[in-house]
């Protein structure tokens, strides 16, 4: 299925736009601790297909000190 999607550049572009929107929505919902934990995960089997700027509020979470109970 991924191969067919990749071959159809118009569908791929629509899919990537929707996926990007959804990923950014989910990232905004993460608390500081969860966001930092995700960023520590190594993913050697993946490759970057795009890069985007995050909102200042999301970036601010990365500089927050997390309080552990």
- State percent of the chain over pLDDT 70: 94
d(Cα 28, Cα 43) in Å, to the nearest integer?
21
Q: What is the mean pLDDT of the chain?
A: 87
**Residue whose token pair is 């960023």:** 39
Mean pLDDT of 44-56: 85
69 has pLDDT over 60: no
Mean pLDDT of 3-10: 86
pTM above 0.75, yes or no: no
CA end-to-end span of the chain: 45
């Amino acid at each position: 299925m991924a191969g067919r999607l990749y071959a159809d550049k118009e569908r791929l572009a629509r899919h990537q736009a929707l996926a990007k929107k959804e990923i950014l929505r989910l990232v905004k919902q993460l608390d500081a601790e969860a966001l930092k934990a995700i960023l520590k995960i190594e993913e050697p089997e993946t490759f970057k297909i795009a890069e985007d700027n995050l909102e200042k509020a999301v970036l601010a979470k990365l500089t927050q000190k997390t309080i552990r109970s």
